[in-house]
Amino acid sequence: MSFREFVACIAMMQAIVALAIDMMVPALGQIGAAMHLAVANQRQWVITAFMLGFAVAQLVYGIAADRFGRKPVLLVALGLYVLCSLLTAAAPDFTWLLAARFLQGIGAAGTRVISIAIIRDCYAGRRMAQVSSLTFMVFLGAPIVAPSIGQAVLVVAHWPVIFLGLGVYATLIWLWVALRLPETQDRSDQRAVTIADITAAFRITLTNRMALGYTLAMTALIGSWNGFINSAQQVFAGVFMVPKLFPLIFAGCALSMAIAALTNARLVERLGMRPLSHAALLGFIAISLAQAALGLTGHDTLLRFSLLQGAMMFCFGLFAGNCNAIAMEPLGHIAGTAASVLGSVTMLGAALVGFVIGQSFDGTIKPLTAGFILCSLLGLAVVLAAERGALFRHRSVPTP
């Protein structure tokens, strides 16, 4: 592969996850009606089932890719994703649909974990940073367009076509990988990972105060974002009565996070990870409190909600851009397995938190704003515990 083809392939592969979550959000109402769901909040399981599968499978893929190589494991993951996309489209009942979505999430997890490993195999230093940045921009860009694509499909077809489209997209990626992408792992690097290795990595990762603190903070904030994704269609359709504006507003929030990522890349070398992430966390709390105050006093409008949501997502983007790096600082000697452990813990916890917030939807934005406040305050609490109460302080060596 040429450099451009490699970047394009990895970027399109990483976009699979965002497309699988965001493209079908506009169809949740139609899915609920087609499946004769008695309670509107039940439709949120379509998102949560996928995210649970995505969370639990990450550690397995990291181990399998180290043992058997990147390409064969990646092809299996993509194949599972394609199959489950088709099964989801053909689901005769809600239980079938949720099972297929869970397995689809397991397949999607492989594309995320292994694509990162492939980049690490092929490039190092500044070149690796360049590739990661280019692919990450596509990963951030997918949520901007995905809801609009889903909404456009619903204009001319029914919800199963969205899942068929996801299956076709992943099939094209499978063919691209099978025909053009070589095995990137050196055969001498393939190794078996024992239960003892995994257990030791879990123990080291989850008993390190800095790693655990920032992982829990990231889990809380991603959980609040998942709560928004779960209930967004109901908020815009049932509270503000503008279901057709949902893709546009959601795209604005995703664009805000992308701008935050670019801003962070420009400022982090000069200001440092902790000052930026701590300021962003405090900003997130302040904005969520302002949003709740507007709701409680009856001054909340669609415009104000959307602007505050975009500002909150900007803060989220700044915090997320540094949180993982801070959590990984003390774990360099087990970086690969630690990344899988932290990724699994974060996504599993965030999926459950987001589900609780989404299931609390009562026809108002109060549960959503309460979720933002509680999650951000929890994030601040664990960051304070990790940093021993000292915010905005540069650290050259993490505290064990």
CA distances from 45 to 28, 334, 392 (A): 10, 34, 39
* DSSP H or E stretch at residue 157: none
- Rounded to a whole number of angstroms, the distance between the first and last alpha carbons of the chain is 42
Tell me the C-alpha distance between 122 and 184, whole Å: 7
**Which pLDDT belongs to residue 268?**
76
Give the amino acid at 79: G
Task: List the alpha helices (DSSP H) in the chain.
Answer: 3-22, 28-34, 45-56, 58-68, 70-89, 94-122, 125-156, 160-180, 195-207, 209-234, 246-271, 273-296, 302-328, 335-359, 366-386
Q: Given this model, what pLDDT does residue 189 score?
A: 63
Q: pLDDT tens digits for 83-102?
A: 999 999 999 999 999 999 99
Q: 194-400 has which fold? A: Growth Hormone; Chain: A; (1.20.1250)
205-234 burial by CB neighbour count: b if 16+ within 10 A, else e? beebbbbbbbbbbbbbbbbbbbbbbbbbbb
Q: What is the pLDDT of residues 210-251, one digit of tens each?
A: 888 998 999 999 999 889 888 888 888 888 888 888 888 888
Distance CA(361)–CA(340), nearest Å, equals: 32
Per-residue tokens: 316 = 């989220």
| Integer Cα distance of 18 and 144 in angstroms | 10
Instruction: Using the CB atoms, write b or e for 88-126: b if 16+ within 10 Å.
Output: bbebeebeebbbbbbbbbbbbbbbbbbbbbbbbbbbeee
Query: Cα 333 from chain centroid?
Result: 25
Burial class (CB in 10 A: 0-12, 13-18, 19+), 40: middle
Q: Is pLDDT of 374 > 80?
A: yes
Average pLDDT over residues 36-64: 88
- Asked if residue 394 has pLDDT above 80, the reply is no
Residue 309 has pLDDT above 80, yes or no: yes
Residue 399 pLDDT more than 50? no
For residue 398, what pLDDT is reported? 45
Kindly indicate the confidence band of residue 393, based on its pLDDT and cuts at 50, 70 and 90: confident
Q: At what angle do helices 246-271 and 302-328 cross, to 10 degrees?
A: 40
CA 47 to mean position of chain CA atoms: 12
Report which of 139, 20, 151 is spatially closest to residue 84, judged by C-alpha positions: 20
Give the max Cα distance, the chain: 65
Which pLDDT does position 240 carry in this prediction? 87
- 5 within 8 A of 184, measured Cβ to Cβ: no
Which CATH number is 1-193's, of 1.20.1250.20, 3.40.50.280, 2.60.120.620, 3.30.70.20?
1.20.1250.20
Task: Decide if 1-193 and 194-400 have a common fold.
Answer: yes
Q: Which pairs count as long-range contacts for 328-335, CB under 8 Å and 24+ apart, including other chains?
A: 328/211, 329/210, 329/211, 329/398, 330/208, 330/210, 330/211, 330/398, 330/400, 331/204, 331/205, 331/208, 331/211, 334/200, 334/201, 334/204, 334/205
Whether the pLDDT of residue 269 is over 60: the answer is yes
pLDDT category of residue 175 using cuts at 50, 70 and 90: very high
- Domain-by-domain residue ranges, the chain? 1-193, 194-400
- The pLDDT score that the predictor gives to residue 264 is 78
Lowest-confidence pick of 87-91, 175-179, 292-296, 310-314: 292-296
Give the DSSP H/E element, type plus range, for residue 38: none
Q: Tell me: the pLDDT tens digits for 112-151?
A: 888 877 887 787 655 665 676 667 666 667 777 888 899 8
Cα(292)–Cα(295) distance, rounded to whole angstroms? 5
Q: pTM for the complete prediction?
A: 0.81
